Amino acid sequence: MMAHTAAQRIKVGIVGGTGYTGVELLRMLAQHPGVELTAITSRKEDGMPVAEMFPNLRGHVKIAFSSPDKAKLEQCDVVFFATPHGVAMAQAKALLAAGVRIIDLAADFRLQDTAVFEHWYKMPHACPEVLAESVYGLVELNRQSIAAARVIGNPGCYPTTVLLGLAPLLGGQPLIDTTDIIVDAKSGVSGAGRKAEVSTLLSEASDNFKAYGVAGHRHQPEIKAQLDLLASTSVGLTFVPHLVPMIRGMFSTIYVRILPEAREVDFQALFEARYANEAFVDVMPAGSLPETRSVRASNTLRIALQRPGQGDRLIILVVQDNLVKGASGQAIQNMNLMFGLPETTGLNQIAILP
């Protein structure tokens, strides 16, 4: 790990700067005091000023998109991949050989089991040896490993809410029935990415609410693999995602059953203690009802606990902005750690209300 000073800025490259996670990276990195935006690639938009595509960046981001062959990514200190699955692993070896660190916002380095990856993403893994050294980039769980890593698999948005919602309950004394965890999750439409698709057209997604991926969603094996590690056993997970007619925001409601021997545990105190020193995890007062708008455009994830009738059912409510803590903000949190900067650098934006 090397600490960077303000005079020695981190040279950052972004592959795939034209999607929603790409523009979120640009929005936050443009305000990051320790970063120099060096290259943003787009084959189709080669030569177009970034601020022409994203007018919110006018006056803040001066560079233009460049095609991958002109981008000189090997001269960067770190490259973010805000690309479809499969792109980062195709370029990983060459970048690592040049001493560049990699943060992939897709799934290439999230699943350590290549057979599981190949089943869900329908492509062979191009570099299993790079995968073997990669670190799962959920800072609140893997802080030390991330700081020393060369390759980060940035977590999926749904997994971030579920893993942080359940982490305090796993790994110590048995508190919950780990064979029956139910996650009812909802995401805004930006989670589907910036592409032309019938299901995300305004007239399709607006004024509508639907479940999807019930028979199997790509984030299920990612969540399960990490929960199994946390619990040191194979957990039983039911995961149902839904599409909500809003642009940003994610809300996961997690249902677990408290074991008889844990009925007297103060779960509120447990969560507060676990996240007391976490800058971006807010454990709300007992009985709170979090709202997605309370985290919009911020890197904060808020958690609230409900225990109806003080019975054996614990309900964990988790909200985040799927594009920030669920993607680009988390990626920058990882970068800060990897380069010895304070973890909150460039990430203290307050949520936008209304």
Active-site positions read 157
Give the count of alpha carbons within 13 A of 215, CB side only: 1
Termini Cα distance of the chain: 40
Instruction: Answer for the pair 89, 22: CB distance below 8 angstroms, yes or no.
Output: no
Instruction: Answer for the pair 284, 302: CB distance below 8 angstroms, yes or no.
Output: yes
Looking up tokens 């960067």, which residue turns up?
76
Instruction: Answer for the pair 152, 80: CB distance below 8 angstroms, yes or no.
Output: no
**With 0-12 CB in 10 A as exposed, 13-18 as middle and 19+ as buried, what is 2?**
exposed
Q: How many residues does the chain have?
A: 354
| CA dist., res. 294 & res. 249, Å (int) | 9
Strands (E), 138-177: 151-153
